[in-house]
Structure 1
Amino acid sequence: MKNIIPVLALIILLFSCSAKKDGNMIVQGQIKGLKKGKLYLQKMKDTVLVSVDSISLLGSNTFKLTDNVVSPVLYYLTFDGNTTNKRILFFGEPGTITINDNVEQFGINPEINGSKNQEILDKYNLVSKRFQAESLEFIKKDFEAKRNNDQDLITQLEKDYQRLVRRRVLYTTNFALTNADSEVAPYIGLTEMYDASLKLLDTVNNSLTPRIKDSEYGKRFQDYLDKIKANPNN
């Protein structure tokens, strides 16, 4: 009996050390049509993409991945760590996030539930895609006008395109101001307001709530503005 007790204690200790502990964010869901593959949960750390969890799926199309989220940021759900072809980009935050998709169209139109920041970002992306479509149409028309050497049309298209840019910047600014208590606000400030003036960028930054200013994207946005102000001619 004396010999059995230490052995049992060792087994329990080894099991407890090897057992996977859930983080404060659980990402679960189903990938229809998946028969075999490995899913990775990844995020940017500094300037490097790192894997925080992974799961091999053999004969099962359901998954569960976890991470400890200190501040909500964008995460990647990828096949075999490949972020260029098969990937789903979503806003991670504490809680349970459910992602459902299918293998053939993985990442094109996934169903994502459980992330409030993702819901807000989806609303922004819905309108942003319309601006992108209009921009592509302008590029097409400009190409045709230059090929035909139609100077009047080229000039008009340039004016119309600048108006489109201003509309997009104002929409993005207003969206960030409306959602100043969401990590989405500084995120789109960093990624979508590249055409905005310093005044508009400052307006968005000053509208952020203290909690958001202290978030990862809030701090990055502040650093971004500080660099612009330190090098105004760049």
Structure 2
Amino acid sequence: MKKSIIAFVTLLLLFSCNKKDSKTNLHLTGNIKGLKKGTLIIQRVVDTNLVAFDTIKIDGSSTFETDLTLDSPEMLYLFLDRGVTNSLDNNIQFFAEPGKMNVETNLDSYTVSAKITGSKNQDLYQEYKKIDSRFRNENLDLIALKFKAIKSNNKILLDSLNTKQDNNTKRKYLFATNFAINNSNQEIAPFIALSEIYDINVKYLDTIQKTMSPKVAQSLYGKKLTEYVTKIKTQK
């Protein structure tokens, strides 16, 4: 009888462990070349603040792995604690989704050298950022020229540069809108709408919201976009 009870308890413990393990749906691995000792903190955005989601200790080996639970694809941040502030140079942004993902980088150029694989949304986000950087760079060039025009009190040139900057912004927003609509079956669509063009005319946000696939509409960012569009429409 005593043996039966022990066996039963053992089975319950095994079932409990398996049940716990089954809840994780993202296996994240990585390698930070040159890092022998330190702390990695996986962060997520909660109420506009970055909060710790998981902590990984590095001691002797530059490789790491962890298992996470995601309710839906979500933008996460891999923060390398160097004992300084939570700066952009220490934080790798990646669009996490269930499955297997890998992060490869090095200690010297932590964010710049980062290569992330295993996520369709991440691939699309990198594609988006590559083109979006052209608009950002052009805007920076125009700002520099505007500063010179103001310094030389050249109002005609300043007006021309302001027009070019407005057109650049319109092209950037149009590109972001089309990119979101063309990828409406991925969670990157509502994320771009909320993070990149939240202040665009609501009719464009409404179009993105209506083109989302049912799966995306029920995701974290899909629900947030629907709530946001509804709120804007109510205020009008």
Q: State whether TM-score is above 0.5.
A: yes
**Aligned equivalents of 1:39, 1:171: Cα separation in 2:** 35
Note the 1:165-180 alignment, pairs <5 A. Answer: 165-180=169-184
How many equivalent residue pairs?
A: 224
Q: Relative to 1, partners in 2 of residues 1:221 and 1:47: Cα closer, same or farther, differing over 3 Å?
A: same
Q: Relative to 1, partners in 2 of residues 1:49 and 1:71: Cα closer, same or farther, differing over 3 Å?
A: same
User: Which residue in 1 is equivalent to 2:59?
Assistant: 58
Offset at residue 221 of structure 1 (A): 0.7
Deviations 1:70-120 (A, max 9, x none): 110101111239642411110111111010000111112301000110001
Question: 1:53·1:66 contact (CA, 8 Å) conserved in 2?
Answer: no
User: Which residue in 2 is equivalent to 1:32?
Assistant: 33
User: Which residue in 2 is equivalent to 1:132?
Assistant: 136
Letter in 2 for 1:72: P
SS in 2 for 1:182: coil
Letter in 2 for 1:133: N
Offset at residue 57 of structure 1 (A): 1.1
User: Which residue in 2 is equivalent to 1:111?
Assistant: 115
**Aligned equivalents of 2:21, 2:145: Cα separation in 1:** 55
- Is 1:153 the equivalent of 2:151? no
Deviations 1:23-75 (A, max 9, x none): 21011010000011011122123444332222211110000022111110101
**Aligned equivalents of 1:119, 1:83: Cα separation in 2:** 25
Structure 1 residue runs of 4 or more that deviate by more than 6 Å after TM superposition: none
Deviations 1:186-206 (A, max 9, x none): 000001113421111111111
**Aligned equivalents of 1:96, 1:68: Cα separation in 2:** 12
User: Which residue in 1 is equivalent to 2:235?
Assistant: 231
User: Which residue in 1 is equivalent to 2:44?
Assistant: 43
SS in 2 for 1:71: coil
**Aligned equivalents of 2:168, 2:121: Cα separation in 1:** 27
Which range is displaced more, 223-232 or 56-65?
223-232
User: Which residue in 2 is equivalent to 1:208?
Assistant: 212
**Aligned equivalents of 1:32, 1:55: Cα separation in 2:** 16
Letter in 2 for 1:135: N
SS in 1 for 2:90: strand
**Aligned equivalents of 2:144, 2:235: Cα separation in 1:** 35
Question: 1:169·1:195 contact (CA, 8 Å) conserved in 2?
Answer: no
Question: 2:106·2:113 contact (CA, 8 Å) conserved in 1?
Answer: no
Question: 1:39·1:55 contact (CA, 8 Å) conserved in 2?
Answer: yes
**Aligned equivalents of 2:102, 2:86: Cα separation in 1:** 20
Letter in 2 for 1:55: I
Note the 1:53-132 alignment, pairs <5 A. Answer: 53-80=54-81, 83-84=86-87, 85-132=89-136
Question: 2:150·2:158 contact (CA, 8 Å) conserved in 1?
Answer: yes
**Aligned equivalents of 1:21, 1:162: Cα separation in 2:** 52
Deviations 1:154-209 (A, max 9, x none): 11111111111111111111101100001000000001113421111111111111
Question: 2:187·2:222 contact (CA, 8 Å) conserved in 1?
Answer: yes
- Is 1:192 the equivalent of 2:196? yes
Percent identity, please.
38
**Aligned equivalents of 2:162, 2:49: Cα separation in 1:** 38
